[in-house]
Each structure stands twice: as C-alpha cells, then as structure tokens.
Amino acid sequence: MIVEISAGKIHGKVNAPPSKSMAHRALICAFLSGQKCSIENISYSDDINATACALETLGAIITKNPNSITINGSNAYNELIADSAGSCADAFNGQNERIIQCGESGSTLRFIIPLCLVTGQRFTLCGTSRLFSRSLSVYETLCKKYGFVFEQSDQSVTVCGRLKPDTFHVQADISSQFISGLMFVLPLLAKDSTIMTEGKIESLPYIKLTQSALKTFSVTTDIFDGSIYIPGSQHYRAVNYTVEGDWSNAAFFYALNTVGHEIEVTGVDTNSLQGDRVCLEHFSLITKSAPVIDVSDCPDLAPVLMASMAANNGGVLTGTRRLKIKESDRGAAMADELSKMGVKVSVHENSITVGCGLKKPTQPLTGHNDHRIVMALSVLCTVTGGTIVGAQAVNKSMPDFFERLEGLGAQIRRLED
C-alpha cells in the first residue's frame, strides 16, 4: 500500500493501542495454565495473530472476539512436559512433525522455541527470510550443549529436545527475548533452575515485563544481579487478563506534539514496567536541545526519536548496535529516508548522529517493510507532506494506525502499489 499524507495542523485525543509485548506474554501464560482464560483489550496485529496461531498448533483452542481472545490451554501439552521419559528419536516417527508459522514476529519465534524444547517432540518453526536473519544463536548454543536437534535454514528452524532443570548460561547482549522464552517454561520443570546472564543485559525492562506476567498467573521468579532464579514444579493459574496500553506505539502519537501538533494520549500507565515509557523524557529533551540519548534499553523508540530529532535540533542516539537486527536495519533505513527530507544522518557501530533542517521529501519515502519506520515517517509527513511506499507494514503492530491519524484530522490518501 502507498499512502499520501498532506501537511496540516492536527489535534485531538487518541487512546493508546494495547501493548503488543504484554499481549504476547499473557497469551502464552494463559495457554500454559491448561485452562480457560480471557485476554481483554487485544489488537489483532500480525505479530499477535502469529503467537495465537503458534499456540493453536501446540494445542490451544482459541476464540477471537472483536477486542478479546478466549484461550483454552492444552492439558495434553502439559502432560508432555510432565512425561520426562523419551527422546527425540523415539518421539518422532517421521509423520508427527508439527509446523508452526511465525510470520515475521521475532517475539513469537523466540518465545515459542522453548515451549517446543520441553516436549521431546519435533517442531519446525517457519517465517520470512528477514525473521531468520535475526540471531537465534542463544538457542543454537543451548541445543548443541544438550545434544538437541537444531537445524536452521533461511526460512525455518527445526528443533527437538527435552529441557531438564539446570543452570543456563545465556548471552544477554543479543536480545532479552531468549531469557523471557526460558522464563516461561523453566517453572514447569520438576526442579529449580537458574538463568545466568553473560554480558550486559539488553532491554532489561522486557525481562521485568515477563516476570510481571508470570506473577499475575501465579508463577514466581527472582531476578538478582546477573541471574534469574526459577523454582520448579510451579503451576500457572488461570486468570482473566486485561492488556495495558502500549508505550511503544503511543510514542508515535506523543511524537506528534514534538513537531507542532496538539495531541492528548490516553490509556497508558505512567507507572508501567514498560521501558518505552521513557519516551516522554526523551521527547522533552529533544524539543529543548540536541541531546545524547541511550536507547540500549528502548531500541524500539529509535526510529521515532530520530524523526523527532530531525524535526527539531538534531541529536545523537547511543546504544544503537542492535538496530541492525530488527525488522530492518533501522539506523540505515531512517538515514536513507531522512536524507530524502534534507536531513543528514551518520550511522556508526553503536551510535547515530541526526542532523536537522527538515524539508518536504524530494521523492517517495520507503517503509523498508518495517512498521516503526513507516509510523516514524508518517509523523514527519504530517508536517511536510509526503508519500510512503510499503505503508502496509503497520499491520505488524498497529493495523489501524492510519485510521487513528485520520481521527486526529490528518488528510491521508491510500493508493494501490
């Protein structure tokens, strides 16, 4: 899809979309309870649909309602975990391999692999080439250590194994999603386990979000300096869960205020554990100066912070190394698009310098198949006007993004590719 956004003053009130991060976690916890749960305040983005589909493959019965999901967990799945006998060789007879579709959702892939690795069954998880260009090295190393199957191609990975309670040494400076994935399943094992993190933990707030979700479903974990202690033989308790508002996506609406609009954002909790709530502090700095901002704990904010810097006084982002392994190479993608708007950007190994002097784009902008790039560019186009190619990428996290913008008064014309 191509969208053409006209320049013009917009204003109004918008309710933050549901948190994609917490929806993933709630769905998995509800499934692991083995009972019926209702997850309220759901938005059916591509990523959430991918996790729901994956859980159905694992045995969940899911009913989708307009703003909620009813999920019945699978006792058969929990019985597989409880059955400590058997190995991949005798669990797989060549006919019962299960295929799990992950689309382009890194959260789905990294959260679901450990759910597969406690069953002793063979699973192949499939997705796009871009998804499988993102590192799975933590799980590959784990599988190699325990003699599990781990076979990766450019669009799939096949795993088979049965995790036992242990002390797991996990490289923590790649993605917190590996740690969260293990946190979901280790409480179900017969004895206690510990995750020992190696290297600086990236995105620690996301690990705390996982801990919070587990606690809501009656599973306890203890996070210490550099380690996570997880008691075994725990049971998830079925609860009805309401997903809180999403700071990651609310940031795009808050950013509109930094480029001259007047927008009130509702539905977010200022005391949330979501790390991206720091966007308000960052935007305040951006409108007053050319700040240096560390995004190592909030990498998803990088595109919209770059957009806001470009429309104000410029600035520098540090801790940007992991932007290369997102849905796109986000630093390079934003540099390409901002150059079309007269803004010079210098991308370095672990930092990005953003200039200023925003102008109307000289040619159509490109979304790089990345929802956060499309939404960041859309914020700027409400000021300069412009056309964005590949705008359908917003379906990954906020399918109604352009409808929300129009509700604030933005003039948007949709064109076919």
Task: Categorise residue 12: left if φ over 0, alpha if ψ from -120 to 50, beta otherwise.
Answer: left
Residue 300 annotated in active site: yes
Residues 6+ apart with CB under 8 A from 33: 73, 217, 235, 236, 237, 238, 239
- Token pair for residue 88? 């991949």
Name the phi and psi angles at 266, rounded to 5: -115, 170
pLDDT tens column, 87-100 = 554 444 444 678 99
Residue ranges and CATH numbers for the domains of the chain are 2-17+245-415 (3.65.10.10), 20-242 (3.65.10.10)
pLDDT at 92: 40
| Residue among 276, 300, 336, 370 flagged as catalytic | 300
pLDDT at 94: 45
pLDDT at 78: 79
pLDDT tens column, 331-378 = 999 999 999 999 999 999 999 999 999 999 999 999 999 999 999 999
Residue 359 exposed, middle or buried by CB count within 10 Å (0-12, 13-18, 19+) = exposed
pLDDT at 369: 94
Name the phi and psi angles at 230, rounded to 5: -130, 105
Mode of pairing for the β-strands spanning 167-171 and 193-198: parallel
Specify the amino acid at residue 5.
Answer: I
| pLDDT < 70 positions in the chain | 83-96, 417
DSSP three-state, residue 157: strand
pLDDT at 320: 96
DSSP 203-249: -HHHHHHHHHHHHHTT---EEETTEEEE-SS--PPP--EEPPB-HHH
pTM, 2 dp: 0.90
Distance between CA atoms of residues 138 and 36, nearest Å: 32
pLDDT at 84: 58
